[in-house]
A and B are shown apart, each in its own frame.
Chain A
């Protein structure tokens, strides 16, 4: 039964041009509303207004960033396109893996919902990104989640951290997708605006690739999966595209509610549809729900679609047509099916117990026509909804405070006085570092996630990259790492974005994989603030330049703006996910040495400069200023090549990149990975690089990695690095007997001491 409404039909709209419409409440600006009236040649109906308002929101239309994001498509060489099967613009990019396999991956934000309602916000973040992957015809094979929270000791962090972690676990674990990594950062700057980004990766055979378009006049349009309810109405517009403000009412009703069981059934059901070639085009329902699915499918296809909205199965029969069009109820998909396949399609739905309803068909009218009991309530050119939204050249300018910020270096600050120098001081600094909220062991989080399901996980957190096997016959697989450093990017938005890419590229190479593609989630404040807009413009410019230089194309991602409370924006936080290929995941390199590695030589690849600005150590001392570490993409590329070759040729048994926390963190983490000690000396690098022991341990210079080389491989390893002009230093050896990290002449920290410092922090705060 459908509700009786006083329906605002197109006919009615034509006859009542002066009716007041709630465009401002729906998040539209005056000029945007005027543009809609101009496009239609009349006022929009209530349903049309609902569609335009969500599809023209910042979240769906990228109106503030479109002009900048173009660079990702422009700064691309032919070589970079070689393996790219589907680029930016589809639900997710697709990269050729070889042997007839392809892989699709994407990272997205679910920031605002996760602050408002942490459990459901984070859960549906996973759900949404997984549906993007299914939409490409792929089987999802893993998820990852880079997380940024406020201060660890802030009372609200209890609500947000517990909610987000159990939401990701509760949803992801129920889907049967291993969670293979991510990051967790605590910083007061994210207090009211936590960042919950979710990544999913899927694998497919080339022939299974599916795209979101409605082609073939007369083909049927079907909505299947969960019923449409009143949750998530306006999620994309009023929630994700505005700043938080205490004065406004709660936005909880704009958060979607997830049901992972429905999603799991939907995954299997879709894969069976693909296998039997029963769908011509498919689109998941995420942000903007049916508005997005119908307008995108229609405008990507032959241009027309006719839909009867009362045929949508509802959870709540009181929903208005506008609410049905805007609802972001989860676990729904829309597909285009030929009349000949209708019966077979229905048989698959029945097998899986999935509800479906036929809504209409593809037409050649170039119009998207939506009716309510036969009366036309939407009559639009779908391209104007899906693709021709407003585009803004928002003003931007380098902030006045940027110079002063960059001049305030750690060394020149009060915080940089009396730095540790004796062995005892350095030891306690190392222990303090690895116990700190950002550097501490995060297994309190990762043990709430299933990393085993699927049986293809070859590496997972705390290793540098997550590695999953795709083809069991050959061992072909992928490695993925996500990275960002908001402090670096705050100090220099251009370089910071490049450093995020450099780190994720390095992490993938550390595992032995060849970096092949990038997906990015650009988390920034309000684009209406010229300081933030400058950070954003610089970030996109920096990232696109760096992708070109490293030769890895951006295949998709998302932009999350308005991450600010009042006029306090988050640090610019471009989270970069790099995907790499491994011919055989059995050859992946773990980020620590095992007892069997006893006696292996430990080498530091790369040089160390005095680079402490923006570092974790400076952060521990409460300082943020100066310039981030220099980025040297040529050096990153050379380092990557060494790590990949060394892994392939069996020259290294363990490798770990140096990033936040520098050598001190990397050495401690390698020791703690399997609880196996090491003896190292810093004299050689101190002398060579002209630095002191403190700088050697805590500087965050880039393009560096630690590796463990079997004695039998040392000659080959040294030959390879010197032939390529790479600087290396032999720091010491793995010592399986000592049970300690010994930094000769300075200090010895037992594995137990390190572990106690590293493992206690999360439990202390979160139980």
Chain B
């Protein structure tokens, strides 16, 4: 398995991978964590395929990751402009289709998913009004989604959190529904780092193929390059989707 991601150039050059799974990573203007997401895909054993926001060809991918960053500079509102990208309408259609394309939105990707109405609610500025970067403990509240099936129920994991607009908000009815339908995928453990309603860190759609969260699993996949404590708790996101694709537990 090759892990090399050239610093310069195209990082999606197809190479033979252990798994035939092709996982798309979307790049918008201002996307920052696309290389990290691609590395996570490869580390999990799949092939990463870079998708450009302005294209409208999903390139026969088996799943899609919308990575973090400040797409369009967060201008207007985080994710508000990106949702209109041609690639996003393809992704929305595919996620809602019979085939239920697995989609993971991380940080800005989560914001884009809510703006695209694939997931309910929205993100506003952190309650303390500052950018925050820290190693964050999460509890896995739902380990049956396409992206979380490799975790134990209620497992606590540590992955980096880094955002400015990470406060998850939704009306009470939506929040009640999310909880009742077991669609809260992750919640913050201990301190709530941005004032999110009901300490929600991530949610899924009803079918479980679309997951969005604020913290960054792709930054916790390699020992020595992630959080001090454990380091690789995020990798299971990317192996989970492979399990899901080969028909493992959903």
Tell me, in angstroms, the Cα distance from A353 to B228 when the chains sit together: 39
Name the B residues within 8 Å of A208 (CB-CB): 8
Is B59 at the interface (CB under 8 A from chain A)? no
Q: Does chain A have a CB within 8 A of B69? A: yes
Q: B225 — which chain A residues lie within 8 A by C-beta?
A: 455-458, 469
A-side contacts of B70, CB under 8 Å: 173-174, 260-261, 264
| A166 lies within 8 A of B130 (CB) | yes
Considering only residues 134-171 of chain A, those with a C-beta below 8 Å from chain B are: 139, 141, 166, 169-170
Q: Is the CB of A275 within 8 A of B132?
A: no
* Selected interface stretch from A3-11, A119-127, A442-450, A501-509: A442-450
Contacting residues, chain B, for A259 (C-beta < 8 A): 73
Residues of A within 8 A of B131 (CB): 166, 169-170, 173, 448-450
The interface residues of chain A lying within 8 Å CB-to-CB of B164 are: 173
Residues in B201-227 with C-beta less than 8 Å from chain A: 216, 218-219, 221-222, 224-226
B35 lies within 8 A of A271 (CB): no
A447 to B194, CA, bound (A): 13
- Cβ of A696 under 8 Å from chain B: no
Closest approach, in angstroms, between the C-beta of B237 and any C-beta of chain A? Answer: 14
A453–B31 Cα distance when bound, in Å, is: 11
Name the contact of B29 in the complex, choosing from A170, A265, A447 (C-beta under 8 A). Answer: A265
- Candidates B4, B30, B74, B219; contact of A473 at CB < 8 Å: B4
Would you list which residues of chain B between 30 and 45 have a CB under 8 Å from chain A?
Answer: 30, 32-33, 35-36, 39
Give, as a whole number of angstroms, the nearest-CB distance from B2 to chain A.
8
Cα separation A735 to B30 with both chains bound (whole Å)? 46
CB pair A452–B8 under 8 Å, yes or no, is no
Q: Are A275's CB and B8's CB within 8 A?
A: yes
| Range, interface on chain B | 35 or more
**Given A455-B39, A469-B225 in contact, is the A205-B8 Cβ separation under 8 Å?**
yes
Closest to B135 in A: A452
Given known contacts A264-B30, A264-B32, A454-B36, A470 and B7 CB-to-CB distance under 8 angstroms: yes
In the assembly, what is the distance between CA of A472 and CA of B36, in Å? Answer: 12
Contacts of A264 in B (CB 8 A): 29-30, 32, 70
CB-CB contacts below 8 Å: A260-304 with B: 260-262, 264-265, 271, 274-275
Which residues of the partner chain B approach A166 to less than 8 Å between Cβ atoms?
A: 130-131
* A176 interfacial by beta-carbon distance below 8 Å: yes
Shortest C-beta distance, A24 to chain B (Å), equals 40
Chain A residues with Cβ under 8 A from B33's Cβ? Answer: 176, 453
B5 lies within 8 A of chain A by Cβ: yes
Could you say which residues of chain B place their CB within 8 Å of the CB of A353?
29
Q: Which parts of A454-479 form the interface with B (CB within 8 Å)?
A: 454-458, 469-473
Decide if the interface of chain B is mainly helix, strand, loop or mixed. Answer: loop
Whether the pair B222, A260 counts as a contact (CB closer than 8 A) is no
> Chain B nearest CB: distance from A656 CB in Å?
16
In the complex, whether B75 has a CB less than 8 A from a CB of chain A is yes
Which of A204, A271, A449, A472 interacts with B3 by CB under 8 Å? Answer: A472
* Chain B window 48-76, contacts with chain A (Cβ cutoff 8 Å), 1 for yes, 0 for no: 00000010000000000000011011110
Chain A min CB distance to B187 (Å): 21
A452 touches B7 (CB 8 A): no
The closest CB in chain A to the CB of B75 belongs to A261
Task: Output the nearest chain A residue to B219 by Cβ-Cβ distance.
Answer: A452
CB of B90 closer than 8 Å to a CB of A: no
A203 contacts the other chain (Cβ, under 8 Å)?
A: yes
Given the known inter-chain contacts A205-B8, A458-B225, please indicate yes or no for A176 contacting B32, CB distance below 8 A: yes
Q: Which residue of A lies closest to B132 (CB)?
A: A447
Select from chain B the residue with minimum beta-carbon distance to A178.
B133
Which A residues between 185 and 233 are near B, CB-CB below 8 angstroms? 203-205, 208
A452 touches B30 (CB 8 A): no
Residues from 153 to 192 in B contacting A, C-beta threshold 8 Å = 160, 162, 164
List B contacts of A173 (CB < 8 A).
Answer: 70, 131, 162, 164
The interface size bin for chain A is 35 or more
B residues 89-139 touching A (CB-CB < 8 Å): 130-134
Of B4, B7, B131, B218, which is in contact with the most chain A CB atoms at under 10 Å from its CB?
B7
A544, B33: Cα distance in complex, Å: 40
Taking a contact as CB atoms under 8 Å apart, the answer to whether B162 and A452 are in contact is yes
- Alpha-carbon gap, A179 to B70, bound state (A): 16
Is there contact, CB below 8 Å, between A174 and B73?
Answer: yes
Q: Are A455 and B133 in contact (CB under 8 A)?
A: no
Find out whether the CB atom of A176 lies under 8 angstroms from the CB atom of B8: no
Known A-B contacts A139-B8, A447-B132, A473-B3; A261 and B72 likewise in contact (beta carbons under 8 Å): yes
Q: State whether B130 touches A454 (Cβ < 8 A).
A: no
Q: Is A451 positioned at the interface, with any CB of B under 8 Å from its CB? A: yes
* Bound CA span A456–B228, Å: 14
- Considering the complex, which residues of chain A in the window 420-443 have a beta carbon less than 8 Å from any beta carbon of chain B? none
Task: Identify which of A446, A455, A456, A585 gathers the most chain B CB atoms within 10 Å of its CB.
Answer: A455
- Do B222 and A455 touch across chains, with their CB atoms under 8 A apart? yes
Residues of chain B within 8 A (CB-CB) of A452 are 133, 160, 162, 216, 219, 226
Write the nearest CB–CB distance from B250 to chain A, whole angstroms: 29
Tell me if B9 is interfacial: C-beta within 8 Å of chain A: yes
- The verdict on A674 contacting chain B, using a C-beta distance below 8 Å, is yes
Residue of B nearest to A208 (CB): B8
Q: Do residues B32 and A352 form an inter-chain contact, with CB atoms below 8 A?
A: no
Q: Which residues of B contact A450 (CB under 8 A)?
A: 131, 133, 162
What residues of A have a CB within 8 angstroms of the CB of B162 in the complex? 173, 450, 452-453
Given A203-B7, A454-B36, A455-B39, A176–B69 Cβ distance below 8 Å?
yes
Contact in complex: B219, A455 (CB < 8 Å): yes
**Residues of chain A contacted by B73 (CB below 8 angstroms):** 174, 259-262
Find the A residue at minimum CB distance from B39.
A455
Q: Assess the B8–A453 pair: CB atoms within 8 A.
A: no
Most chain-A Cβ atoms within 10 A of its Cβ — which of B70, B222, B224? B224
B43 to A: closest C-beta gap in Å: 10
Within the complex, what minimum Cβ distance (angstroms) separates B41 from chain A? 12
Interface status of A586 (Cβ within 8 A of chain B): yes
Closest chain-A Cβ to B37's Cβ sits at a distance in Å of 9
Residues of A within 8 A of B75 (CB): 261
Q: Which residue of B lies closest to A261 (CB)?
A: B73
Query: Once the chains are docked, how many angstroms separate the CA of A470 from the CA of B4?
Result: 11
CA distance A174 to B33 in the complex (A): 11
Shortest B22–chain A CB gap in Å is 21
List, in ascending order, chain B residues with CB within 8 A of A141's CB.
Answer: 7
> CA separation between A274 and B133, bound complex, in Å?
32
Q: How far is the CA of A205 from the CA of B224 in the complex (A)?
A: 25
Please indicate which of the listed interface residues B4, B5, B30, B35 has the most CB atoms of chain A within 10 Å of its own CB: B30
* Distance A454 CA – B29 CA, assembled complex (angstroms): 16
Chain A contacts for B35, CB-based, 8 A:
454-455
User: Which residues in A have their C-beta under 8 angstroms from that of B54?
Assistant: 351
Q: Kindly provide the distance from the CB of A335 to the nearest chain B CB, expressed in whole angstroms.
A: 17
**Nearest-CB distance from B208 to chain A (Å)?**
27
- How far is B69's CA from A166's CA once the two chains are assembled, in angstroms? 17
In the bound complex, residues from chain A placing their C-beta under 8 Å from that of B218 are: 455
B228 in contact with A472 (CB, 8 Å): no
Select from chain A the residue with minimum beta-carbon distance to B70: A174
| Contact in complex: A586, B224 (CB < 8 Å) | yes
- B39 adjacent to A453 (CB under 8 Å): no
Known: A452-B160, A455-B225. A472 touches B29 (CB 8 A): no
List, in ascending order, chain A residues with CB within 8 A of B30's CB. Answer: 174, 261, 264-265
Q: Can you pick out 29 interface pairs between chain A and chain B where the beta carbons lie within 8 Å of each other?
A: A139-B8, A166-B131, A169-B131, A174-B70, A176-B69, A261-B72, A261-B75, A274-B8, A351-B54, A352-B29, A447-B134, A448-B130, A448-B132, A450-B162, A451-B133, A452-B216, A452-B219, A453-B32, A453-B219, A454-B35, A454-B36, A455-B39, A455-B219, A472-B3, A472-B39, A473-B3, A473-B4, A586-B224, A674-B228
Known: A261-B73, A455-B225, A585-B224. 6 other contacts (CB 8 A): A176-B33, A205-B8, A264-B29, A452-B133, A453-B219, A455-B39
The 7 closest A-B CB pairs, nearest first, are A261-B73, A176-B32, A455-B36, A452-B219, A174-B70, A139-B7, A452-B160
A residues bordering B, Cβ < 8 Å?
A: 139, 141, 166, 169-170, 173-176, 203-205, 208, 259-262, 264-265, 271, 274-275, 351-353, 446-458, 469-473, 585-586, 674
